[in-house]
Chain A
Amino acid sequence: KQEVTQIPAALSVPEGENLVLNCSFTDSAIYNLQWFRQDPGKGLTSLLLIQSSQREQTSGRLNASLDKSSGRSTLYIAASQPGDSATYLCAVINAGSSNTGKLIFGQGTTLQVKP
């Protein structure tokens, strides 16, 4: 059974710092991996999606990497800003679930960027 784990559960950094959020998954047979952002009381916003054949994706100050064989992904945030404060969720779709698109989520990392 696929399990997704995110470390740390919470993180507080000063503004301007570069930071890394970690995500690990137990079954390497995935279809894709996605990073989401969730603001308090809101739904999810997709940040980056990495297909199983890809190693990384970039969008602005965000870079996500995927090492499928070791079951790990990282989300790198450069030059963090107070507006980056949110909960970041990692989710995978198993290879056998590509038709249903069923996401399996980690517990999330709550980030606070202090001005």
Chain B
Amino acid sequence: GAVVSQHPSWVICKSGTSVKIECRSLDFQATTMFWYRQFPKQSLMLMATSNEGSKATYEQGVEKDKFLINHASLTLSTLTVTSAHPEDSSFYICSARRVNQPQHFGDGTRLSIL
């Protein structure tokens, strides 16, 4: 149980386009979802925390207008990278949890902006 699916697993797009990444909890209702960014050979950096039905809480230094997060239901959160540029290329990972339960992680999305 506690499976988190992330889609797409890999995306390449041109500079200036917007990219949407989906995170779904397949077999449980996730009250909270987290979005992380990971640079090569580095640890996970928390970008934002989202609770269903409310606005996401962004970590310091993360541009909320650049990285749009929507958590419209208890099983789906989306991260949209708006007007993506090469410096936005990275590995993005989501996780989901129920109240007072551990986080369960998706398999990540490799984003490459040309």
Contact = CB atoms under 8 A, between A and B. Distances in A.
Interface of A: 34, 36, 41-46, 49, 89, 98, 100-103, 105-108, 110
A44 B42 contact: no
Contacts of B4: 43
A98 B49 CA distance: 14
Contacts of B95: 44
Contacts of A34: 102
A89 B44 contact: yes
Contact of B49 (A43, A89, A102): A102
B102 A46 contact: yes
B106 A43 contact: yes
B29 to A, nearest CB: 15
B95 to A, nearest CB: 8
Interface string B16-44: 00000000000000001010000001111
A103 B49 contact: no
